Amino acid sequence: MATMIERIEDIRDKRLDYYSKLTDAQLMSYPRDSFGSFIAESRLVIERALNAGVRPISLFVEDRWFAQSADLIERVEAIDGDIPVFRATHEQMQQLTGYQITRGPLAALYRPKPLELDELLSDARRIAVLEDITNFTNIGAIFRSAAALGIDAVLVTPGCHDPLYKRAARVSMGTVFQVPWARLQGKRDWADQSVRILHEYGFELAAFALADDAVPIDDPRLREVERLAIVLGTEGDGLASSTIAACDYVVKIPMAHHVDSLNVAAASAVAFWELRAR
């Protein structure tokens, strides 16, 4: 390998700040002459990010994963031979990241340019809207289901956590780089403006909520909708009442054994499959 492999000598090296000193929130606006950055964890997530054209800043590989990462290192070299590959002992990895166990290499990558709504919606038939979901595991699982079950795009509201956070991306198995997504702009009460925009693109909106007037998910009218936005709410509280009022349908998944609802990630998989474009 001819790439810039560097054995870490000083863990205070400023180039390692991506992995140690900067929080995920800080990475979103660092470095300043870019759209921000993020950390990807595990080989699969890094590979899918590279497949999507995301540009790496550096690669950080613990000794135990180094031999297995040879082809990934070569791939990074092919992008740019000046991208550093840092090699660390397990103790150095722990000191820098706080991780007791690693699941493969880490990479610092530049955040892609945010997509415009027109890029996402012009040809889409099925999209998901995630309202204020704050559990990174659920976000990752929803993206994995979206990729597997034919969702064309995902929109996240202003209060929803970042799909590129390392845990969300890892749980998604890197599918956050396969399903196009964008963050809705404006106030926390996103429906006030964004529902009108989605209607202009020809979408009808189905709010998943436990409501007396909700229709079952297998209601035949839903299958006939040409362009459908599936709106899913935060853990615990569900969708805001203003969101439910703004949507075209209120939908529920019928439950058995007195269970009131599914976890939002499980509900998303059921919804994406049942309401898939046919």
Summarised one tens digit per residue, pLDDT across range 151-168 is: 999 999 999 999 999 999
Tell whether 206 and 259 lie within a shared domain: yes
Whichever domain contains 146, its CATH number is: 3.40.1280.10
- Residue at a domain's end among 110, 130, 154: 110
Strands (E) in 24-151, as ranges, are: 37-41, 56-62, 84-88, 106-110, 126-130
Residue labelled with tokens 């945010």 = 114
**With the CA atoms of 192, 195, 201 and 205 taken in that order, what torsion angle do they form, in degrees rounded to the nearest 10?**
180
Tell whether 138 and 155 lie within a shared domain: yes
Does 2 have pLDDT greater than 70?
A: no
Tell whether 34 and 104 lie within a shared domain: yes
Over residues 38-49, mean pLDDT? 96
User: Of 78, 96, 99, whose CA–CA distance to 86 is shortest?
Assistant: 96
Whole-Å CA distances, 94 to 8, 12, 20, 207: 13, 14, 10, 44
Tell whether 35 and 127 lie within a shared domain: no
Strands (E) in the chain, as ranges, are: 4-7, 37-41, 56-62, 84-88, 106-110, 126-130, 153-156, 181-183, 204-208, 215-216, 228-232, 249-252
Q: How many structural domains are present in the chain?
A: 2
Over residues 27-37, mean pLDDT? 95
- Residue at a domain's end among 110, 136, 157: 110
**E strand or H helix that includes residue 17:** helix 17-20
As a whole number, the mean pLDDT across the chain is 93
Tell whether 229 and 145 lie within a shared domain: yes
Does 92 have pLDDT greater than 80?
A: yes
pLDDT tens across 222-272, in order? 999 999 999 999 877 899 999 999 999 999 999 899 888 889 999 999 999
Instruction: Please give the share of the chain, as a percent, with pLDDT higher than 70.
Output: 98
Average the pLDDT over each of 139-143, 173-177, 183-187, 198-202 and give the range with the smallest value: 183-187
Query: Residue 194 corresponds to which tokens in the numbers above?
Result: 């964004």
- Tell me the β-bridge partners of 5: 85
Tell whether 68 and 200 lie within a shared domain: no
Does 10 have pLDDT greater than 60?
A: yes
pLDDT band (50, 70, 90) for residue 3: low
3-class state of residue 269 by DSSP: helix
- Tell me the β-bridge partners of 130: 156, 232
Burial of 275 (0-12, 13-18, 19+ CB in 10 A): buried
- Residue at a domain's end among 110, 135, 167: 110
pLDDT tens across 101-135, in order? 777 899 999 999 999 999 999 999 999 999 999 99
Query: Residue 166 corresponds to which tokens in the numbers above?
Result: 């390392």
Tell whether 166 and 32 lie within a shared domain: no
User: Of 18, 8, 20, whose CA–CA distance to 86 is shortest?
Assistant: 8
Tell whether 203 and 231 lie within a shared domain: yes
Tell whether 152 and 243 lie within a shared domain: yes
Look at residue 260 in the predicted model and tell me its pLDDT: 83
Does 68 have pLDDT greater than 90?
A: yes
pLDDT tens across 139-153, in order? 999 999 999 999 999
Tell whether 103 and 144 lie within a shared domain: no
Domain with 46 in it:
4-110
In whole angstroms, give the CA distance from residue 69 to residue 264.
35
Over residues 62-76, mean pLDDT? 94
Tell whether 262 and 150 lie within a shared domain: yes
Residue 7 backbone dihedrals phi, psi, to 5 degrees: -75, 125
Cβ–Cβ under 8 Å, residues 184 and 158: yes
Look at residue 91 in the predicted model and tell me its pLDDT: 92
Record the pTM: 0.93
Tell whether 81 and 10 lie within a shared domain: yes
